[in-house]
Chains A and B, each alone.
Chain A
Amino acid sequence: MKENPLRSKRAEAAVTLPSFVWLALFFAVPAFIVLAFTFHGHTANGGVGEWSLSTWRELVDPDYPAIVWNTLRISFEVTLWCIILALPCAYAIARMNKRWRAIVAGSIMLPFWTSFVVRVFAWKTMLHPDGWLQTCYFSWLKVSDWLFDWLPGFMQRFLVWAGFASNAPLDAASSTILDSEAAVVLVSVYSFLPFAIMPIYTAAEKFDFSLLEAARDLGAKGFYAFRKIFVPGIRQGIVSAVLMVFIPAIGSYVIPQMLGGTNCVLIGNKIFMRAMQNRNIPHASALATLMAVSVLVPLGMAMYWKKRQNARTSRRLERETARMIVGRGGEA
């Protein structure tokens, strides 16, 4: 065993080096360059200026905080819808027999064999102002407007303040679904839903459904048993699903770019705009740093929460998340 060349340091270096150097050079080093650029000013001709804190000071001033908040809010909305839809779906698939389970789980991932951009383009064509989805959207606006009037005043003010609702009166000409936030949420849910269903389904598959029967025997019925027995039993899967949707939603760029128009500009679009159109490299870097933080915070929180609960399940979550990420096909 001692002279086994596979255990030698030289062999280790030789096998590790290619990928290590590649990823260090093209992943780690660029990350530090981004961080370094945030502490530079920018020059008028699109270059990077002297060392200074001006970039960070400028971030507070213009509309950046609003954009960061909008991105977080929309990602939250998308995640919520995905989980609400994924829970009953995962439950239904897990209750099927083995043959059907494989077929349905496969057919949930099948749409991902078409190009992501082409699918978003199909949505764009579908959301045309003369289309039936526009009619649905306007009716929905009217209903929600009516519901909004029923809410108590402080809630109305809170929803308007947080950006979930608006005080402006409805008018058909300006309420097109294309180039609206609703389109971005709808298509984001469409794109990320399978990544919410799969981890929840994986957890539900291992769930012991006789527990639900026992609960029913003891008098817990329908939704109560679902909420009190099923949901806690698959918590692991729900946490993975939230991460699988929330993180790509934060980094979302193509969907708001193609469907949000000027009404839904998220951090991703702003980064692209600053980097490619205005040539303000330090600002783009600072926004990218903000995005990295908003991704790492929920991830760190999930990890910490799991670690405190149980070190072993934490590793399983990590592994499972890795597996789910590896199993995905679309945009991150």
Chain B
Amino acid sequence: MEGFFALEAYALLKVLWWVLLGVLLTGIGVMVGMDMGVGTILRYVGRTDVERRVAINVIGPHWDGNQVWFILGGGAIFAAWPLVYATAFSGFYIVMLVLLWSMIVRPLGFEYRSKMPSERWRNVWDATLFISGCIPMVVFGAAVGNVILGVPFNFDWRLTSYYTGSFISLFNPFAVLCGVMSLSLAIYMGGTRLAAAASAPVSDRARTAAVVFALVAVVVFSGCGFWVATMDGFKLVSGPAAAAAQTPLHQQVVREAGALLANYAKYPALWTFPALTYAGLILGVLSLAANRPALAWWLGALAWIGVMGTVGAAMFPFMMPSITNPSHSLTVWNSGSSLRTLGWMTGWTLVFMPLIVWYTSWAFWVMRGKVDVKDVAASEHAL
């Protein structure tokens, strides 16, 4: 009986960590996406150097902490889903490098840009902030898009993974559309944040950008939805029990038309997730029109939850299906860490996640209020 209980607990922990992965990816979208959205529209919202510095200083005290969502996301996939981490990061090699290289110029963009007065110097770093804003968000979305489509990889007997696709095939139209989706949401989040925390005229332009990209997101989300409905999904035919310790070498998976909507047909309550996305974005636009940008930001976070939930509900139990050998697909059941590791990780997360939320909120509270053009102009030589 005790053994039975432990095994069932293992299946439960796998699902819990699948949910937590969703939470972390949503955290990346909301917190890192916001800063990257600001980077992307920096030259649009800021026509003069002082205006750009206003925008940068709105996120200045927080970008570093926010970026840790991304780092933690990587670390958590490594710890809880080692096979997914290994297969995805190596398979998407060139794309991952482009993502990495665009991300590593970002700390320098923030930290170094305003250290020298030269206009040319600052233009260069503005370019890095733009690149490190839009490219990671496009790659983030495109990676999810490719995972929905299925990825060309297989394993040998030892579980060494082999990626057999080309680099360019990762930029197929569906994946790019997903990339546009996540970039649009990022610009929306960055736009609402600037609308709330920057002074005019930066806040006015930011509001316009947020409205435009919320509408783009609505259209792209609908487009992706119709596309997915016509797509071949994956179906787990047979395999070891959910709670068993296993590898992806002993299951049967087939491709099947409409499989991506199977969970929705079975549990109609899942339609809540796409509904949340629409509700968040449409109410967000209305809030911006009513000049309530802070509320619009929170509605954007809701939209992110909706998008991640929509994808997760369509994919479950698949985490990274293989199109070349569907029976090697990675699922929630076969790619997680051991019971003990997932248990320990749950403990650490329960202790530290609330702490993180608490001190992050405190940091935002300390820095509350608007960043003003006059103040920024006056502190040219600060730090």
* Real binding pair: no
> Which residues of B line the A interface, CB within 8 A?
none
Question: A interface vs B, CB < 8 Å?
Answer: none
